[in-house]
Amino acid sequence: EAGVAQSPRYKIIEKRQSVAFWCNPISGHATLYWYQQILGQGPKLLIQFQNNGVVDDSQLPKDRFSAERLKGVDSTLKIQPAKLEDSAVYLCASSLDKASGTDTQYFGPGTRLTVL
Amino acid sequence: GQQVMQIPQYQHVQEGEDFTTYCNSSTTLSNIQWYKQRPGGHPVFLIQLVKSGEVKKQKRLTFQFGEAKKNSSLHITATQTTDVGTYFCAGQGAGSYQLTFGKGTKLSVIP
C-alpha cells in the first residue's frame, strides 16, 4: 500500500513570496490533515478535512495560509505572502474515516520550507 | 486552549538502560496517542490509549493512561540503538476533533 505522498520535499523562498505544497493521501482515506512542525517542537494542526469539507481550521493563519481539497482526494496548502517564521516542515497526514480524530494518522515525509 | 506538556525534553541513556517519558494534559482527554519520529523522518503512530488506567505493551514498550485521563507515560525497557528518536504524545480533548501534540522527548542511546 502506498503511503502519503508530498511534494516538493524541500523549498527555499524569500519572504513575501508565495509557495504551495501538495499532498496525496493514502487511497481511500477520507480525512486529511495539514500540520506545521517547527524545529524542536511537535506537529501543530493547521487544518483538517473530512472528504472535501473543513472539519477544523481554528489554528490556520487565514490572512496568509489557505488550503483546499476540492475533489476529496489531493490537497494543496498555500502560503501567501511567506514570513520568516513560516520556516518549518509541513506535514500532511491522512486517516481512514473518522472525523473524530481517533483513527490512526499516517504521515507523509513532509516539505521542509526555508524562508530567507 | 488545550495544552500537552511532555518531559523530559531530552534523555541520554546507555544502551540497556530504561527510559521513560511523561505526558500531561491541561484538560481531560478522550484518548491519547504516541508517535515516534526518527531523525529526519516523519511521525509514525505507535499506539492509542482510550480507557482510564489503560496499560498496553508492545515488546519492550509499555504505555499507560492515567486514571483521570490527563496524563500518560511511555516506558522503554533495556533501550537499544534502534530506539533513538523523538517520542511524541498527542492528546484529543473530549468533544474535539483536534489532536494536540506535546513537544516530544528526544532519546539518544549511547552504545
CA distance B48 to chain A (A): 8
Tell me: the pLDDT tens digits for A20-76?
Answer: 999 999 998 999 999 999 999 999 999 999 988 999 999 999 999 999 998 889 999
A104 and B45 within 8 Å at the Cβ level: the answer is yes
Three-class DSSP category at B71: strand
pLDDT of residue A107: 96
To test the contact with chain A by mutation, choose from B6, B44, B98 the residue with the greatest count of A C-beta atoms within 10 A, namely B98
pLDDT of residue B58: 96
Q: How many residues does chain B have?
A: 111
Averaged pLDDT score across all residues of chain A? 92
| pLDDT of residue A101 exceeding 60 | no
**B105, B79 contact by CB (below 8 A):** no
What is the Cα–Cα distance from A25 to A96, expressed in whole angstroms?
Answer: 10
Which of B97, B102, B104 lies nearest to residue A101, judging by beta carbons? B97
B43 and A107 within 8 Å at the Cβ level: the answer is yes
User: Where is B35: in which H helix or E strand?
Assistant: strand B29-37
Mean pLDDT within A101-105? 72
CA dihedral B86, B39, A75, B93 (to 10 degrees): 0
Which of B44, B88, B97 lies nearest to residue A99, judging by beta carbons? B97
pLDDT of residue A89: 97
CA distance B56 to chain A (A): 16
State whether the Cα torsion B49-B54-B58-B61 is positive or negative: positive
Mean pLDDT within B76-93? 96
- Closest to B86 measured CA to CA, from B48, B41, B47, B56: B41
| pLDDT of residue B68 exceeding 60 | yes
Res. B96 pLDDT band, cuts 50 70 90: confident
| pLDDT of residue A95 exceeding 70 | yes
> How far out from the chain centre does Cα A44 lie?
10
Which of B44, B48, B102 lies nearest to residue A42, judging by beta carbons? B102
| pLDDT of residue B18 exceeding 70 | yes
Residues contacting B48, CB < 8 A, separation 6+? A102, A104, B31, B32, B33, B34
**B90, B35 contact by CB (below 8 A):** yes
Q: What are the phi and psi torsion angles at A13 (to 5°)? A: -135, 170
